[in-house]
Amino acid sequence: MDKLKRVFSGQDSNDNTNVLSEAVSDATSLGWGTRVKGFIACFAIGVLCSILGVCLLWVPRNGLVLFAVFYTLGNISAIGSTFFLMGPLKQMKKMVEPTRAIATTVMLVSLILTLCSAFWWKNKGLAVLFCILQFFAFAWYSLSFIPFARDAVKSCFSVCLS
């Protein structure tokens, strides 16, 4: 009935693109409450996977592979949780901004190298080193979203080291 009213009032003369785009937007957008719930769930799964990965490091035989896979999946899930808050496209654009590009690159390279060190090189020390790099790169990346947080961390370390 609403469509019929728009046609008769002359509002429907510019194709159905607006109606279609509104329908797609309504069908694919999430409410704020749903976004926060998705973020919390995905982040919690990421933290649990990372903790499980650390616990599995000492399992005989396949512990290194399980550690690398679960720890990496945990970090990917934690990164993916922010997609709920901002949306995937906006988050991807923010990941490659100049202030975050280095942290993003280090984090992604560390994710890949962690898996390589577990699956191909079978080197536990390297896997742990790359996981530590993942952690610090993810922390530095996360701090970039809090105003002046990076400056505070830098000044804290400069005071501690001098």
pLDDT tens digits, one per residue of 6-28: 544 455 555 555 655 555 455 56
Q: Residue 111: its pLDDT value, please?
A: 95
pLDDT tens digits, one per residue of 74-133: 999 999 998 998 888 999 999 999 999 999 999 999 999 999 999 999 898 999 999 999
Q: Which residues contact 132 (CB under 8 A, 6 or more apart)?
A: none
Give, in degrees to the nearest 5, the angle at Cα 25 between 12 and 101.
135
CA distance 131 to 56: 14
CA distance 40 to 33: 11
Which stretches does DSSP call E strand in the chain?
none
This prediction's pTM: 0.74
Position 57, amino acid: L
Residue 162 is given by DSSP the state -
Q: Residue 57: its pLDDT value, please?
A: 84
CA distance 143 to 124: 29
